[in-house]
Amino acid sequence: MRKFVILALVIAILVAGCAGNETIKVVRINRTNVTANVTVPAPQNTTPNVTANISSNISANISANISSNISANLSSNSSNLTANTTSNETENSSVPAATNSERVRNLTVDFIDLGGNSILIRTPTKKNIIIDGGKNNDGLRLVKYLLAKGISKFEYIFDSNADSANSGALSSIIFNFNNSQSYATAIDYSTAYTGFRSYRNYAKAYSYPSIPMTESRVFDIEDGLKLSAFVPYEEGMSNGNPANDTIVYKLEFEDASFLFLGDCRDVCWDQIKNSGLDADVLSVHGYVPEDIISAVSPKIIVYDNLTKDSIKPEGVKIYSKEQGTVMIMSDGSKYLISTTGKA
């Protein structure tokens, strides 16, 4: 039935005519290989052209062929990961490490090494959550990373704002994985930002329409784990630009806590700063001022890139994606931190 609905949408679009021929890079996966940089039409105000063949390629089970191909392509990265994980565990002995027996019920958070911002969360009961999808051209790298982790489905997809460094490649997530719920900023930036428009259109075409986040809310993910979304705007009224309209997310698992600040600064921060945003782990996209860091009072900070202006408080562990993907594992009280190293 879903295929007929999709085909009907396509026919309606063809009759009405497309509103442009703008293209973006969306990754298409089939059962035998990974195809890079597939370019598809992205009309400004219409649902994208989705065929039955594409639908058949989105399945809950990723075939062994894909896994083996990706494993071969990423073998050098895997060896890097092993080497760097060992060194980082030793280096960060002041942050208590989880034991082998505890890891089976751990939460893991990956700050993925992309051109833009993307955070993968895997819960103790194997639920998968992604916040942001990187830049428009990050799709292939992102999808390969997720498949290598054995992921075929997302329970939740979130964006923090419409900027191309955050929502650019989320359409590739919709396109290649089975998904349950997707959420997006309630501010309509679809005219100005191609990636954001594509994310919303593909979500609609695949019957996972992105739900506008109109107000702050709490998602009870599973026992002992919740994700809070702090919305800085009111009634869908923009604060002037995507950074000011950034949704900030706080993940809490037992006694462990992560704050995903994204691009939130100044106007955005002023709107939500009294919401209880202290956390053990702080991740930031770009520069963050000292007053915000002091308010969060983190033990660990994950930067996208370190610059001469990056604040490094005494006693706080500092990481950046210049070290590759930063992975943090927690049993609810302790943190084990590793990096993949640059490919």
Q: Among 231, 228, 225, which Cα is nearest to 212's?
A: 231
What confidence tens digit (pLDDT) does each residue in 261-281 have? 988 889 999 999 999 999 999
Q: What is the pLDDT of residues 62-119, one digit of tens each?
A: 344 434 443 444 344 433 433 344 335 433 434 445 455 444 579 999 999 998 889 9
Q: Which CATH architecture group holds 75-339?
A: 4-Layer Sandwich (3.60)
| 131-162 core/surface letters (b: 16 or more CB in 10 A; e: else) | bbbbbbbbbbbbbbbbbbeebbebbbbbbbbb
Average pLDDT over residues 278-289: 92
The pLDDT assigned to 192 comes to: 59
Average pLDDT of the segment spanning 317-321: 95
**Of 104-113, 164-173, 203-212, 217-226, the least confident:** 203-212
| Residue 300: predicted pLDDT | 97
Give the pTM.
Answer: 0.72
Higher-confidence residue of 90 and 48: namely: 48
pLDDT of residue 26: 52
pLDDT at residue 153 tops 90: yes
What is the arithmetic mean of pLDDT over 322-332?
Answer: 96
The pLDDT mean for the chain works out to: 74
Rounded to 5 degrees, what angle do the CA atoms 120, 121, 127 make?
120
| More confident position, 157 or 241 | 157
Each domain of the chain, given as residue ranges in start order, spans 75-339
Q: What is the DSSP letter of 105?
A: G
So what's the pLDDT on residue 232? 93
Average pLDDT for residues 30-58, to the nearest whole number?
Answer: 39
Lookup: tokens for 133: 């999808």
| Residue type for position 224 | G
**Which of the four pLDDT bands, split at 50, 70 and 90, describes residue 242?**
confident
Confidence of residue 312 (pLDDT cuts 50, 70, 90): very high
Q: Which of 159-163, 208-212, 281-285 has the highest mean pLDDT?
A: 281-285
DSSP 7-44: HHHHHHHHHH--S---EEE--EE-SS-EE---EEE--T
Q: Which of 194-232 are b and which e, b meaning 16 or more Cβ less than 10 Å from the residue's Cβ?
A: bbbbbbbbbbbbbebebeebeeeeebebeeebebbbbbb
Q: Please tell me which residue, 235 or 4, carries the higher pLDDT value.
A: 235
The pLDDT, as a whole number, for residue 335 is 97
User: Which of residues 230 and 43 earns the better pLDDT score?
Assistant: 230
